[in-house]
Amino acid sequence: MKKLFSVALLSAFGYAANAQQSSSASQAVQLQLNNVIDITFTANGSDVGPLVEMPFSTINDYVNGVESANQEIRVRSNKAFNVFVRTNAEYFTYTGGASPTPSMPVAGVLSLIVVSDLTGGTVPGPFSTSTYYTLRDFNQDLINNGTIGSNQLFTVKYKATPGFSYPAGVYDVGVVYTATQL
């Protein structure tokens, strides 16, 4: 009789002997995506690439110019993009003992070639994947219509041909790459 009483008591309070009880809660999850883009050098994962040294040690270097090693650059973007290139000055900065200080222009001395383009975009003229073209101190189209992705790579190489007109010393200029979403 005791057993019947406890089942009857549970039933009186709304509990069935074998009934499952449940409850639920819910909430909305909202993603707020923004347009993002970055450009970095793969050699160091930074937006400031490693120093590119181009020593002129022989007569042949002066006659034929000196080429740099390949410089690989990565763009990550959630929209199609363009890449522009420019130097940060019209003339190289000179460090050395010559007086008066020599004034070497970038245009006609420092050139660039796109060695490979894996961005899904195109390399517009005058730049190409087959010949060098001179750099200037204003934005020049380098990659057009690169595609969305997290590993859009392109590789460039520099060539310097200063000729014989400049004295010994160190000549520096910055090269700036800008990735812009379309």
* Range of weakest confidence among 8-12, 17-21, 142-146, 166-170: 8-12
- Top-confidence residue, 155 or 19: 155
**Predicted local confidence at residue 11, as pLDDT:** 52
| E strands present in the chain | 37-41, 66-67, 71-77, 81-87, 93-95, 110-118, 133-134, 140-146, 149-160, 170-172, 175-181
- Per residue in 39-89, pLDDT (tens digit) is 999 999 999 999 999 999 999 999 999 999 999 999 999 999 999 999 999
Measured from the Cβ of residue 53, the count of other Cβ atoms closer than 10 Å reads 9
Task: Look at residue 160 and tell me whether its pLDDT is greater than 90.
Answer: yes
CATH number belonging to domain 30-181: 2.60.40
Q: Half-sphere exposure of residue 166, counting CA atoms within 13 Å on the CB side? A: 23
Rounded to two decimals, the pTM is 0.85
Return the structure tokens found at 59: 């007569």
Contact (CB, 8 A) for 166 and 100: no
- Over residues 87-109, the mean pLDDT reads 96
